[in-house]
Amino acid sequence: MYELNRHIYSDSVDPYAIKKLSGAVFPVCHCSRLQYEGGLVNPDTETCPPGELKTPRQCKGHEVAVPIEATVQALDTREECLATLLCHLEQRGWLRVRNHTFDTCTLKCYGGSRQLRALARKVPAVAAAVALLRERSGEEWEEEELEQSNRIIFSVTGVASRMGWESKVVRSELSSLEVNDRGTCPSPLLQARGSVMVEMEGLAFSLVAPGDLSACEREEVIAFLKERVASQERRGLEKLQLLQAVLRTVATETHSDPIRTSETPTNELRGLETSDTPEKLRGHVKFETPDNSGATLKEIISRYFSREGLTTAELAERGIPLTTDSDLTAEEEEEVGRDVATLVARYSDQHFTGRAIARLFHGIPSPLYPAMAWGAQRWVWRKYLHLNFNKLSRIATKTLLELR
């Protein structure tokens, strides 16, 4: 049972990760302000209906690219879990999920920094990329870096959003530089073979999401995702507990050997071998099982996989009790707190969270704490698999706050 619970907890997402993902998915734009300045809408009269985002919106949506690898490492959450959260938001109509895209563009000029400056003056996409890098890195970037470097690295979606274009148009224009823009290179040899190299890398989630969400709307999105993750975890654990309780009612500690029926002659049993198939044995021998256990188990399992599902109330009507986790004793809480303090002291370079430490105690791998690296730490890995995960998380969070 403990091993199966690990799979349920591995699919959950930390609340802080949900908040960070929400901030990355819904960018801040100025569509409402621009329409207000144009006299089309008054933001002071806008309200946030409880339970849903306001409609119709002034912002029609912006392209957003969320780098997968960087986000997975920053949030310590698997890619599948992040994709599931985005699908929940798309199901509610809050954004549109597109196919994955390569968002990081590396533009390299073999003609040196002189050719790069010429491209920035000639090509709007390159000019926007330079302006974006200059805005993020400081005013001195263009004078120092652009004079010495022959390449730039930027986000295609960020450049497209700045220019008001679609990202596919920017990609098309950048890809055409490898063939069409040879005149910017001062070397005739490089002009002949092409002097610009454009590389697309960095797989990212591609979305279309509004950017004019109010504060209460952003809180509504975060609350929805938190409740969705919590309910999914509760439902998964409840299903395991229901199935375990049902199997315990029909299970027996021992099994009996085949016995001869009154209709089976003795000479026929002598001709049967232990390696015979069940079809050959059927009709000659029978097995002792609890009365109607097979029919009961089949009925409950059919109900378990039905659309309505099996509920705790139905099991109570059948007289099937559920097992619940017992509370931690004071000694167990002290021991867990000491192990948390020891873990933080030994690995002071790690930024632990309560749920991350609970995952280590249950032996649940994550992007930042893979089993290949942490599985050898037997004093912490899977040590408290028999204790409740959420209780371990609360104790670890409490201890981390005390150590600060």
Q: State the Cα–Cα distance between residues 339 and 344, nearest whole angstrom.
A: 9
pLDDT of 239: 80
How far is CA 108 from its chain centroid?
34
Hey, what are 56's tokens?
Answer: 């119709």
Main-chain dihedrals φ then ψ at residue 365, nearest 5 degrees: -75, 155
Q: State the Cα–Cα distance between residues 48 and 177, nearest whole angstrom.
A: 46
Please state the pTM of the whole predicted model.
Answer: 0.77
Q: Which of 53, 66, 51 is nearest to 97 (CA)?
A: 66
What is the DSSP code string of 80-112? HHHHHHHHHHHHTTS-EE---EEEEEEEEETT-
Q: What is the pLDDT along the chain (404 residues), one digit of tens a residue?
A: 778 888 899 988 999 999 999 999 998 877 755 554 444 444 444 444 444 555 556 777 889 999 999 999 999 999 999 999 999 999 998 999 999 999 999 998 888 888 888 888 888 999 898 888 887 765 545 555 666 678 889 999 989 988 888 889 999 888 888 776 555 554 444 444 457 888 999 999 999 998 888 889 899 999 999 999 999 998 888 888 877 777 777 776 665 544 444 444 444 444 444 444 444 444 444 444 455 566 777 777 777 777 666 666 666 666 666 666 667 888 999 999 999 999 999 999 999 999 999 999 999 999 999 999 999 888 999 999 989 899 999 999 999 999 88
pLDDT of 135: 78
Q: State the Cα–Cα distance between residues 35 and 33, nearest whole angstrom.
A: 5
pLDDT of 300: 73
**Greatest alpha-carbon span in the chain:** 103
Q: Which of 36, 52, 54 is nearest to 44 (CA)?
A: 36
Collapsing DSSP states into helix, strand and coil, what is residue 267?
helix
pLDDT of 281: 43
